[in-house]
Amino acid sequence: MQNQCLGLAERLDMPVRTFAVRLKAPWRWLAPHKRGLALRHLAESSDRLQPPWPRVLIACGRQSIPVSMAVKRVSPGTLTVQCQNPRIDARNFNLVVPPEHDRISGAHIFPIVGSPNRVSPARLAQARREFAGRFSSMPTPRVAVLIGGSSKTHGRLGPSEARALGRALHDIAKTASLMVTTSRRTDPQVKAILLHALADTGAYVWDGAEPNPYLGLLAFADAIVVTADSVNMACEAGATGKPVHVFRLPRATAKSRRFHESLMKRGVTRPFAGHIEAWSYPPLDETGRAAERIKALLDASTAAAIGQIRS
């Protein structure tokens, strides 16, 4: 969630401050619905928001919603932007940026494909410099493999799925260099199965001990394989403009299918069929598109303020 906020904030050419907020009980149980001024109900472990109030507040997550509304109450000049579907009236914010597959619309709503992220040409170029010593010597083609975990919305990534994926990756490793990373959501049994499948391939597999070279994998990849459970990973892979192969999972919901179909229709992804294909498409940059909408709102707000002063 923090990366979604930072992805938008970093496109606005403003100083960025980050706050991790957590409400005390019972207010955190009541979120996103507000009860009183949420700034008074922050837990001891929460960061504190205080003046100077920001020109723009970008928030994500259920507990952030009452806090964002409280800031708007004490600082009407703050432009509030909420990522994801807040599940309350969008008019409580200046802008809501939900995923298209949530199918919400109306005033103050700016739907995008998937979710905002921090992948940009500049950050990929920086990652190529940072991780050159680790990945530049690997033979091409290089295939980045992004492994997530089971999801109620996007399907199950269990032992049987891991074995099928492991067999396919083992075959690909005969003609390509694999660069594999798991996530915090990856089940240990799934990770063990994949490690066993790739043990004799020479694949790079992130060991979890050092900082995750995630951006380095995206920067050096000629193609990408990503499990279907993560909207963020699929959108980040699509931001590279490189072929993205999606390993679909069983038990996915209709919402998940809508998301992945939207990426396929745009030419960003194809289902992973056990081999690597080559194609091209304009890099997915929904983060930039949403950031331009925020800039337009800021410009309009500034123009209105100047108009009031002159009148």
Do residues 68 and 173 share a domain?
no
pLDDT of residue 148: 96
Q: Is 227 a domain residue? A: yes
pLDDT of residue 308: 64
Do residues 30 and 162 share a domain?
no
Interval 83-104: pLDDT, tens: 999 999 999 999 999 999 999 9
Q: Is 151 a domain residue? A: yes
Specify the amino acid at residue 226.
V
Do residues 164 and 42 share a domain?
no
Do residues 201 and 299 share a domain?
no
What is the C-alpha to C-alpha distance for residues 84 and 89, in angstroms, rounded to an integer? 13
Structure tokens at 257: 């299918």
pLDDT of residue 207: 82
Q: Is 32 a domain residue? A: yes
Q: Is 277 a domain residue? A: no
Q: Which domain holds residue 234?
A: 121-271
CATH number assigned to the domain comprising residue 142: 3.40.50.2000
pTM beyond 0.85, yes or no = yes
Say if residues 241 and 223 touch (Cβ distance below 8 Å).
no
pLDDT of residue 33: 85
Q: Which ranges of the chain have pLDDT less than 70?
A: 35, 304-311
**Domains contained in the chain, number:** 2
Do residues 112 and 7 share a domain?
yes
